[in-house]
Amino acid sequence: MKISLLGGTGAFAEGLVIRWAKAGHEIFIGSRKQEKAEGITNEMLEKAKSVGVDASITGLTNEEAAKQTEVVVVCLPHEYAKSTLEGIRGSFTNQIVITPVVPMVRNEETKSFLFQQPESGSSAAEIKGVLPDTVKIVSAYHNIPAKGLANFEKELDYHVVICGDDEDAKKCVAELTEDMPKLKAIDAGQLELSGMIEAITPLIVNMNIKHKHEFSIKFV
């Protein structure tokens, strides 16, 4: 499958790029700058090669990357996600758009990370608001720490809670999730639940900093 990652040059995208390339997907790394996308693409190709993966990865601008693929992952910080997507809205037709975006802020006094709920209830709802109605939004991956994800040899024994309004799109995202050993996708329901999934992330981030660990989520 062809997958593009907007802001694919950042910390969170790295693990997704290699893990999906390893599973045989065709990856497009998006950036505001073509040269930066190409530079990171070369680094990713080297990393993939070092773990014996003959990867297909291409670096493009965010605008071009989104046009190329059936699945687009929004790997952008919350403060720039909405404006970036508004700026490249013309690149979207009927793609599946995966959002792992977490709206959170740091309390500079206590150093804790806190959830900052958008007016619309979630970052996913904000993203839905700026993209064409034909796009299918699926919320996923908020609770996976980038560090563990980027450690390609590591099996991720976590659950990934997903939500969205299109059943086929969620099925596709569940399959893409389970292409990354040993993640298991759990469909929580409609996209309106996304705020609750997003809100758990700062709790996990604070725990990971406090305990120097890579906690994520597993339901029993």
Ligand X SMILES: NC(=O)c1ccc[n+]([C@@H]2O[C@H](COP(=O)([O-])OP(=O)(O)OC[C@H]3O[C@@H](n4cnc5c(N)ncnc54)[C@H](OP(=O)(O)O)[C@@H]3O)[C@@H](O)[C@H]2O)c1
The set of residues, in sequence order, having a beta carbon less than 8 Å from that of 116 and lying 6+ positions away, is 103, 104, 105
Do residues 48 and 77 make contact, with C-beta atoms less than 8 angstroms apart?
no
Q: SS3 for 162?
A: strand
Please choose, out of 5-13, 109-117, 151-159, 182-190, the segment that lies near ligand X by the rule CB under 6 A: 5-13
CA atoms within 13 A on the CB side of 25: 24
Q: Interface with ligand X includes 195 (CB under 6 A)?
A: no
Do residues 37 and 9 make contact, with C-beta atoms less than 8 angstroms apart?
yes
Q: Which two tokens stand for residue 158?
A: 């976590």
Q: Interface with ligand X includes 76 (CB under 6 A)?
A: yes
Q: Which residue, chain included where needed, has tokens 């699945």?
A: 71
Do residues 186 and 178 make contact, with C-beta atoms less than 8 angstroms apart?
no
Residue span 143-182 as binding mask against ligand X, x where in contact by CB under 6 A, dash where not: -xxx------------------------------------
Q: Interface with ligand X includes 36 (CB under 6 A)?
A: yes
Q: Interface with ligand X includes 9 (CB under 6 A)?
A: yes
Q: Interface with ligand X includes 2 (CB under 6 A)?
A: no
Question: CB of residue 150 vs ligand X: minimum separation in angstroms?
Answer: 9
Q: Please select the residue that binds ligand X; options are 5, 17, 21, 31, rule is CB under 6 A.
A: 31
The dihedral over CA atoms of 41, 14, 24, 218, expressed in degrees to the nearest 10, equals -170
Report how far residue 98's alpha carbon sits from residue 101's, in angstroms, rounded to the nearest whole number: 9
Question: CB of residue 84 vs ligand X: minimum separation in angstroms?
Answer: 5
CA atoms 44, 45, 50, 54: torsion sign:
positive
Q: Which two tokens stand for residue 59?
A: 């670096």
Q: What type of residue is 218?
A: K
Question: CB of residue 52 vs ligand X: minimum separation in angstroms?
Answer: 25
Please choose, out of 51-59, 113-121, 139-147, 172-180, the segment that lies near ligand X by the rule CB under 6 A: 139-147
Residue number, 39 or 165, with CB nearest to ligand X? 39
Q: Interface with ligand X includes 19 (CB under 6 A)?
A: no
Query: Which residue's CB comes closest to ligand X?
Result: 10
Please choose, out of 71-79, 106-114, 162-170, 189-197, the segment that lies near ligand X by the rule CB under 6 A: 71-79
Query: Which residues would be at the binding site for ligand X (CB under 6 A)?
Result: 7, 9-13, 31-32, 36, 75-78, 80, 84, 100-102, 141-142, 144-146
